[in-house]
Amino acid sequence: MTDFNIEDYIAAYPDFPIEGILFRDISPLLASHDAMSKAMDQFYDQLAPFKPEGFAGIESRGFLFSTLMADRFGCGSFMLRKPGKLPGDLVRESYALEYGKNELTMQANTPIKGKRIVLIDDLLATGGTVKAAKSLIQSVGGQTVACAVVIHLADLGGQDVIDMPLVALATYD
């Protein structure tokens, strides 16, 4: 797979989940072992300078990438989830989506105090989810050093909101 173009593995669905939204789907990427391996190689190369000590996967597609990257870097991965999905003492942060509102939670005892954490999700749009994730990590003493996404929807301005370096495998205007 010498001529790898990740955009060949991202499908587009107009008017999903609501009219006016062009949904970028990573299912073809996930279905290809070779494409996923190449994408993870690209993430690794671009994230290595940040010296991550942990990865935070944002519900739910971010989990797929955070665990793979944590394995490659020899560190841990933890989940940032929607309400009602995690047990124990939780910290919470609300955020606005491109087409609605939601909340993220994480376990308050996640062992990341003082660690360099990379946030991972499948997509960056308006930046609200990543901004909330960053706030959660900082609330328990972690340091967010970068955000990594498969897809960056640049015209929605998320990069300006997140206030940290961004690594994106595909960017769409």
Q: What is the DSSP string of 86-113?
A: S-SSEEEEEEEETTEEEEEEEETT-S-T
Q: Flag whether 10 is in a domain.
A: no
Quick one: tokens of 123? 């997509």
What pLDDT, in 10s, does the model give residues 22-40? 999 999 999 999 999 999 9
Q: Containing domain of residue 92, as a range?
A: 52-172
Pairing of strands 100-107, 116-124: unpaired
| Position 42 in a domain | no
> Which pLDDT score is estimated for 1?
47
User: Does residue 16 belong to any structural domain of this protein?
Assistant: no
Per the domain annotation, does 33 fall within a domain? no
Judge whether 37 lies within some domain.
no
What is the C-alpha separation between 170 and 40, in angstroms, rounded?
A: 13
- Strand ranges for 42-157 from DSSP E: 54-58, 76-80, 90-97, 100-107, 116-124, 143-153
Query: Can you give the CATH number for the domain in which 59 is found?
Result: 3.40.50.2020
165 in any annotated domain: yes
Catalytic residues: 61, 98
Q: Judge whether 32 lies within some domain.
A: no
For the chain, which residues score pLDDT lower than 50? Answer: 1
pLDDT of residue 3: 85
Please give the tally of structural domains in the chain.
Answer: 1
Amino acid type, 127? G
Residue 146 lies in a domain: yes
- Residue 143: predicted pLDDT: 98
